[in-house]
Amino acid sequence: MTSITETLKQQIKTLQAELNNPATDEARNLEIQKLIEENKNLLETTYKDLNKRNGVTLREFEKMVDAKGNAVKRATGIELIDEVFDGGFEEGMFINLVGESGAGKSTIALEILLNIAEFNKSVFIGLEMGDKLTLKKIRQYGIRESHRDNLIIDIHSRDIEIVKREVSLYANDGVKFFVIDSKMKLESSMKADEYKKISYISGEISKLTQQLGIIVILINQISEENLKHNRVSLKGSGDQIYDSDIVLVYKKAKDLTKREMLVYKNRQNNKEGITIHTELKNNRTVSTAKAEEREYKEDKEFLRSLV
């Protein structure tokens, strides 16, 4: 900011010198006076900004936050996830959905997206598959008429700057829910090493969720080696976990027809370290534990009837 003030001051001095020059004609003098006035106003605003404090008192902060009311939640439509998060994900959450290749991250993310798109507009930025495969994947859930109008599909935006623009435009239209598949396909034209690029991408998505009050699920990769040793380390940069509000680790169970979702990080309600046991039935995610409990109860009733 200091360099800006110095530049403005120098411009004013240069203009004043020209104004005092007898060779300057009247029309130019009027133009110079106008430019000097504009630069003075800009300099005054700049000085005010230099002395401006961003912080507020706790009283002011309480008033500002309370005026917003309770955080709005978006139910995922998957009962076992909504239970853990007390009814769904809060707006303003940056969610990293991570797992090994083939775990079904895209599948469960699309299921959530379609559940929300049944009632509200949502956006799928799908960079992993072409148009035919993307449509085939979506159709397997059973498309309703509301999906055709509410689900927005973008398979072209790869550069993070373009993604930021697209997300901001849709958010301004009132869209609150976004899925980006996947982080590995996002690009950045900034001149930096891969670590810094990934940190930048992660940080920018985190800022978008906070500034726009939206929910973004970013699908991410974790190596099989890390999963094997129960380490949650995302490919590229550790900043990704730090930037995230929620980290869900999705992996194959010993029974390969089933899945486990570990709530690794959870700023929303601090319920962490919970493992949700799931399986896919008729293209819908259900709780394995509940299904097994129900089957066990039914067996008991059957045995009791025999007695």
> Mean pLDDT for the chain?
87
Number of residues that make up the chain = 307
Q: Tokens 């601090």 — which residue?
A: 270
Report the C-alpha gap between 178 and 215 in whole angstroms: 6
Please give the model's pTM, rounded to 2 decimal places.
Answer: 0.77
pLDDT on residue 284: 85
Closest by Cα among 153, 141, 145 to 178: 153
Q: Tokens in use for 161?
A: 């700057």
pLDDT on residue 225: 65
Q: Tokens 């960079």 — which residue?
A: 127
pLDDT on residue 25: 86
CA of 162: how far to CAs of 103, 155, 158, 272, in Å? Answer: 29, 12, 7, 34
At 16-51, the pLDDT tens digits run: 888 888 888 888 888 888 998 988 888 888 888 777
At 127-163, the pLDDT tens digits run: 999 999 999 999 998 899 999 999 999 999 999 999 9
- The partner residues of 181 in beta bridges, in order of sequence, read 126
pLDDT on residue 307: 41
174-193 mean pLDDT: 91
Q: Tokens in use for 203?
A: 């940080």
pLDDT on residue 293: 55
Q: Tokens in use for 250?
A: 């999705």
Q: Tell me which of 29-43, 79-93, 257-271 is least confident.
A: 29-43
Q: Decide if 227 contacts 251 (C-beta within 8 A).
A: yes
pLDDT on residue 1: 45
Report the C-alpha gap between 235 and 202 in whole angstroms: 12
Report the C-alpha gap between 137 and 109 in whole angstroms: 11
55-73 mean pLDDT: 88
| Predicted confidence band of residue 173 (pLDDT cuts 50, 70, 90) | very high
- The partner residues of 263 in beta bridges, in order of sequence, read 248, 274
Q: What SS3 state is found at 277?
A: strand
The number of helices, as runs of H, and strands, as runs of E, in the chain is 12, 11
295-304 mean pLDDT: 53
Q: Is the dihedral of CA 62, 68, 69, 72 positive or negative?
A: negative
| Predicted confidence band of residue 298 (pLDDT cuts 50, 70, 90) | low
pLDDT on residue 223: 66
238-246 mean pLDDT: 88
Q: Is the dihedral of CA 107, 109, 112, 113 positive or negative?
A: negative
pLDDT on residue 204: 95
Residue 302: is its pLDDT beyond 60?
A: no
At 220-233, the pLDDT tens digits run: 988 666 666 566 66
pLDDT on residue 227: 63
